[in-house]
Amino acid sequence: MKLQVKFSLYNAITKIAIILVLGAIILFSLDRIAYNQLDNRLLKKKARIIEHLSNREIDSLLSNQESFTDYNILKEEFIILTDIDDKQIDTPTNIITEKREIEGDIEFYRILNYKFQYRKNWYKLELGESMTALEGIKNYIRFYMLIVLVISLLITLITDFAFTNFLLKPFYLIIDKKINKVNDPTLYNYENIPTNTDDFKILDNSVNTLMKRINTLFLLEKQFIANVSHELLTPISVLSTRFENMLNTPQIPVEHENKIFASLKTLNRLKVIINSLLLISKVENNQYLKTEEISLKEELNDIYEDLDDRIADKALIYDQNINNDLKFTGNRALIHTLLINIINNAIKYNKQGGKIDIWGDFYNESYTIKISDNGIGMSKELLEDVFDRFKRGNSDENGFGLGLAIVHSIARFHKIEIEILSEIEKGTSVKLIFPKNNTNS
């Protein structure tokens, strides 16, 4: 998960928690808020009635009776004005909740009681509102609160995401431009990413310093490879020539001749190992170009011609079935080496009279080639380290454990996926999956 997403999630979770707590507090206080709202409405209505009260209005309200009652059609509100004979002191406004019966219907009302003196007469005013009005107020407050909370949450999420995106933009630029897209240390761009954040400046400078060290080591490695090529292969060639000249010496004892042959064989084996290691190093250091147009079918045909004698010596059945040819851009020599190493292994570790199957076609939008044999196979333990250049893939004396390491390096250089399946005494299958953006028939 990206750091930006983590920041946004953290901010969102904390804000949601805060909003939920505030919402819970509001919900628990909703009754009090609703009652206060309803009481305020009753007090304002009382104030308007008292303010506009006059003798004529009182007389018309009472109509020579002791009380006056008025309520609306829905019976949600009522006004009761009562003439009080007994003289009483002016009492403060009292608000209560109780049942009232109006025309046979019993409802809960919030009732304001107020006693007052007007023109030497005492009156009692009762204003009531049904509790259904209170529920309406509650629902209104709930709806308003929900809208406010949702809008607040959306605004905070958008602003947090935008802010973290702005804040972390230099970080992702450093990751993208200075780490992910760097394939060759010699082409690294040491220009600093513009940012005002000190932490990102430190990260940028640290990456630049690290890349300088890597570039230095990379150049030293290239120089070392060149020196190894000269310093090791030249003495081996000299020794091989001397041993060959010794073999041409007349009347050389047989035991000496056998030792010289053994020494030549060891030197040749050492030469193969050095050349293989040099090839792997050069491939991994991107010292080859990928500019040639390659036909996979042509390469396989050329390899078959080169290995025809070996295939015939073991009486192998060679079945090549390439339904559609693959043409792509790469390094022809390296692709040839990759394929010939795999097919060589299929011959070398096959049984007398065995079979080699080669199949190639487009599959799942990618081109796949599969090279299978029914030879001795490999155990699970060997299969786990099959690409390790320092471990031998087989116990055969002719196997140096570098063939598949070379295959792996070349495949990775061309962005080709490798899948290997193998079972003891059942054979081995090597599948090569070419990248989608580099496949055309």
Q: What is the residue type of 366?
A: S
Element housing 82 (H / E): strand 77-84
Evaluate if residue 12 carries a pLDDT over 50.
yes
Strands 317-322, 355-363: parallel, antiparallel or unpaired by DSSP?
A: parallel
Phi, psi of 302 (to 5 degrees): -60, -40
Terminal-residue alpha carbon distance, the chain? 38
Mean pLDDT (the chain) is 81
Reported as a pLDDT band with limits 50, 70 and 90, residue 293 is very high
Q: What is the rounded distance in angstroms from the CA atom of residue 327 to the CA atom of residue 309?
A: 28
Strands 292-295, 317-322: parallel, antiparallel or unpaired by DSSP?
A: unpaired
Q: What is the rounded distance in angstroms from the CA atom of residue 245 to the CA atom of residue 257?
A: 11
**The dihedral sign for the CA sequence 413, 418, 423, 425:** negative
Q: What would the two tokens of residue 237 be? A: 């060639």
Evaluate if residue 74 carries a pLDDT over 70.
no
Evaluate if residue 283 carries a pLDDT over 50.
yes
Model confidence pLDDT, tens digit, residues 123-155: 888 888 887 766 776 777 778 777 887 888 788
Reported as a pLDDT band with limits 50, 70 and 90, residue 391 is low
Reported as a pLDDT band with limits 50, 70 and 90, residue 395 is very low
Contacts for 307 with CB less than 8 Å, ≥ 6 apart: 340, 343, 344, 347
Q: What is the residue type of 211?
A: M
Phi, psi of 212 (to 5 degrees): -65, -40
Bridge partners of 321, per DSSP, are 359
Q: What is the pLDDT of residue 62?
A: 63
Model confidence pLDDT, tens digit, residues 307-351: 999 999 999 999 999 888 899 999 999 999 999 999 999 999 999
Highest mean pLDDT among 92-101, 206-215, 259-268, 330-339: 330-339
**The dihedral sign for the CA sequence 365, 366, 371, 374:** negative
Half-sphere exposure of residue 334, counting CA atoms within 13 Å on the CB side?
Answer: 29
Count Cβ atoms below 10 Å from residue 25 Cβ, excluding itself. Answer: 10
State the average pLDDT over residues 12-17. 79
Model confidence pLDDT, tens digit, residues 423-433: 998 999 999 99
Asked whether the beta carbons of 374 and 366 are under 8 A apart, the reply is no
Q: What would the two tokens of residue 194 be? A: 């513009």
Q: What is the rounded distance in angstroms from the CA atom of residue 240 to the CA atom of residue 256?
A: 15
Evaluate if residue 299 carries a pLDDT over 50.
yes
Model confidence pLDDT, tens digit, residues 185-197: 777 788 888 888 8
Q: What is the pLDDT of residue 87?
A: 58
pTM of the predicted model as reported, rounded to 2 decimal places: 0.54
Domain borders along the chain are: 56-132, 198-284, 292-438
Element housing 372 (H / E): strand 366-373
CATH topology of domain 292-438: Heat Shock Protein 90 (3.30.565)
Tokens 């080669």 label which residue? 358
Q: What percent of the chain has pLDDT over 90?
A: 20
Burial category of 87 from C-beta neighbours within 10 Å (exposed 0-12, middle 13-18, buried 19 and up):
exposed
Phi, psi of 111 (to 5 degrees): -120, 130
Asked whether the beta carbons of 359 and 321 are under 8 A apart, the reply is yes
Q: What percent of the chain has pLDDT over 70?
A: 85
